[in-house]
Amino acid sequence: MSKRLLILIGSLALVVVLTLGVTGAVFAQMPGPNTGSSSGYGQGGMMNGGAGSGHGGMMGNNSPNNAAAQPLSVDEAKKAATQYLSELNNSNLAIDEIMIFDNNAYVAIKDTSTRVGAFELLVNPVTKAAFPEYGPNMMWNLLYGHMSGNGYNVNPNPNGVGHGGMMGSGNGAGMMGNGNGAGMMGGLGAVNTTTYQPGKMPVTAEQALQTAQTYLDKAYPGVKTGPKADEFPGYYTVDVETNGKTSGMLSVNGFTGQVWYHTWHGQFIEMADFGK
């Protein structure tokens, strides 16, 4: 086989790999509210969960298929989150809210010293292990996300994915990102931790709700935002409702206004508020 032919074959192989990579990037942006299906994982891609019915990816939670697992109770989720927090040795962190879905449990952690959210956890219903939620919690969180550089890239639970991560920096808007989508990496541009002050992000909570509703009106007519936007360092998380009932959540970047739908929860079951 000639040297020229080998080069040609190698070039064609590279084109195929790059094409598949771009295709994966496009699918990674495709969010979807839960409208009754218990899968809740959307179309897969690099940012999607590596479990459940979605096609696995780099940011998956390394758990087995959760679709057949018995949903967690509020007490089980609370126990897992409490154990996780005990490893961080930070007395300012407390459980604020727990939402039970059929794929996992969601736990919002509040910083009691600032009275706003600190970060978000998921609890695996199979292993009953708490781990940092992927998506905005990892990519946009300026104090506890893996880009913060504040030493919170711990993973006390081997079944989790850690606050540390392997996906890029905060420079740019994120691969394949657009005005309403976070893109694969959902970067924050030039924003850094020194620019974040609780209650003073460029995008207000009210604007975040408006932005979220505009996104839902275009992408999923009939789906509505909940009444409030919960602030976290760098973004807001908003519950969404289908036919007047909680059906999922999304996040809005507090600096760019980008929207990131949480596609990994599944069907909503119940909620418990621990805020004081």
> 91-105, 147-161, 216-230, 235-249: which range is least confident on average?
147-161
Mean pLDDT value across the chain: 73
Average of per-residue pLDDT across 227-255: 97
CB-based burial label for 250 (10 Å; 0-12, 13-18, 19+): buried
Residue 180 has pLDDT above 70, yes or no: no
CA distance 21 to 197: 37
Average of per-residue pLDDT across 68-82: 94
Average of per-residue pLDDT across 97-107: 97
Find out whether 200 and 238 touch, Cβ atoms under 8 Å: no
Give residue 130's pLDDT band: very low, low, confident or very high (50, 70, 90). very high
Give percent of the chain above pLDDT 70. Answer: 58
Residue 11 has pLDDT above 80, yes or no: no
Which helix (H) or strand (E) segment holds residue 260: the answer is strand 259-261
Q: What is the pLDDT of residue 275?
A: 78
Q: What is the pLDDT of residue 47?
A: 35
The amino acid sitting at 29 is Q
CA distance 226 to 263: 17
What are the pLDDT digits (tens) for 154-173?
Answer: 443 333 333 433 333 332 33
CA distance 176 to 258: 13
> 56-65, 95-104, 241-250, 261-270: which range is least confident on average?
56-65
Residue 199: other Cβ atoms inside 10 A: 10
